[in-house]
Amino acid sequence: MSHEFPAMIDVRHLVFEYPGVCALDDVSLTIRRGDVTALVGPNGAGKTTLMRCLAALDQPISGSITIDGLDVLAHPRDCHRKVGYVSDFFGLFQELTVGQSLHYLARAHGLPESRVTRAVGLAAKRLQIDDRLAQKTKTLSRGLSQRLAIAQAIVHQPQVLLLDEPASGLDPEARKHLSDLFLTLRAEGITLVVSSHILAELEEYATTMVIVRGGKIVDHQALGLRDEATVMIGLTLSEPVERLAERLGTVPGISQVTGTDLAVSFRFAAAADAQRALLQTLIGDQTLPVCGFVAERTNLQDAYLHSMGTTVGGDQP
């Protein structure tokens, strides 16, 4: 997979209104190819409306949306071939089997018959329902129904996957599998936008966070991920050292140093061997009384609460 991340989704000045309510108010947003974007915010913030506009299911009053260079508002059917969407309140074909449902969605998205069998098998295997292909959907549990809905959304191998509360109804084991699936899809080049109320769950796979409130984007920030080339390192001393940040800024490989003379954070290589070598160097310097060295990762809930200006007891996304 390329290490370059050009824009996959570009939204400009989007406005959407329900009678008496402005659901999206001059929303502009760019999502890079290969990102997994956590879309968070209070109930009624406009998250679902934004996702439905991205999926070419709702028509905004004004603004523009492009996905992989395609004008979504001008070419909604072409957008449907590029995008997979799972709504919070999804529906299934109750009288069809799992296999028939996936076959129908694959053909509806324009896959030729010669590719359908393989596409159905791959989607079912990814969601661990390949042993249920002959089972009618109306007999599935809530968790299995959710898996089928996601399988239907990826059966045509879209470039963008939009998911509104995808883990609803799944047990902890299935949620873990879902997190792993999202990481796999990202590694394969798929761009994901995931809305969820469970911030700890989003933290497992999200690379960026977009906060929506009152129909506006109030924050859009990058999050550290385990597979990125660099991470933030927290360094703590047992006693202050004058101009610590400036001093560390001269060390090869260290960048973006911030903090005090007692504790700093800086960006450094994510590789464990590189971090070990750096720690050995720092400990070996008798003028630096190192007592703490840890790789940090942006805590999504803390970042959310900070951006929203709330406390833990306040509104949740």
DSSP per position, 65-126:
EEETTEETTT-HHHHHHHEEEE-TT----TTSBHHHHHHHHHHHTT--HHHHHHHHHHHHHH
Residue scoring higher pLDDT (173 or 253):
253
Q: What is the pLDDT of residue 313?
A: 41
Q: Are strands 83-86 and 160-164 parallel, antiparallel or unpaired?
A: parallel
**pLDDT averaged over the chain?**
88
Mean pLDDT on 284-294: 94
Mean pLDDT on 229-250: 91
Domain boundary among 222, 255, 271: 222
% the chain with pLDDT above 70: 90
218 and 89 in a common domain: yes
d(CA 294, CA 236): 9
53 and 187 in a common domain: yes
Are 224 and 236 in contact by the 8 Å Cβ rule? The answer is no
162 and 109 in a common domain: yes
Total domains in the chain come to: 2
CA distances from 126 to 57, 116, 122, 123, 185 (A): 26, 15, 6, 5, 10
246 and 148 in a common domain: no
In a domain, 1, yes or no: no
210 and 266 in a common domain: no
Are 55 and 83 in contact by the 8 Å Cβ rule? The answer is yes
| pLDDT for 218 beyond 50 | yes
d(CA 215, CA 186): 27
Amino acid, single-letter form, for residue 233:
I
Q: Which residues contact 277 (CB under 8 A, 6 or more apart)?
A: none
| pLDDT for 302 beyond 90 | no
| pLDDT for 8 beyond 90 | yes
164 and 235 in a common domain: no
Q: Are strands 263-269 and 191-195 parallel, antiparallel or unpaired?
A: unpaired
In a domain, 312, yes or no: no
In a domain, 311, yes or no: no
In a domain, 310, yes or no: no
Domain boundary among 222, 255, 283: 222
For residue range 39-68, what is the model confidence (pLDDT) as tens digits?
Answer: 999 888 999 999 999 999 999 999 999 999
| pLDDT for 2 beyond 50 | no
d(CA 214, CA 16): 12
Res. 174 pLDDT band, cuts 50 70 90: confident
132 and 154 in a common domain: yes
For the chain, how big is the Rg over CA atoms in Å? 23
In a domain, 2, yes or no: no
Q: What is the pLDDT of residue 311?
A: 36
Q: What is the pLDDT of residue 86?
A: 94
177 and 47 in a common domain: yes
In a domain, 203, yes or no: yes
Q: What is the pLDDT of residue 175?
A: 83
Q: What's the CATH number where 252 sits?
A: 3.30.70
Domain range for 267 is: 230-296
For residue range 114-165, what is the model confidence (pLDDT) as tens digits?
Answer: 999 999 999 999 898 999 999 999 999 888 998 899 999 999 999 999 999 8
Is the whole-model pTM more than 0.85? Answer: no
For residue range 179-188, what is the model confidence (pLDDT) as tens digits?
Answer: 888 988 888 8
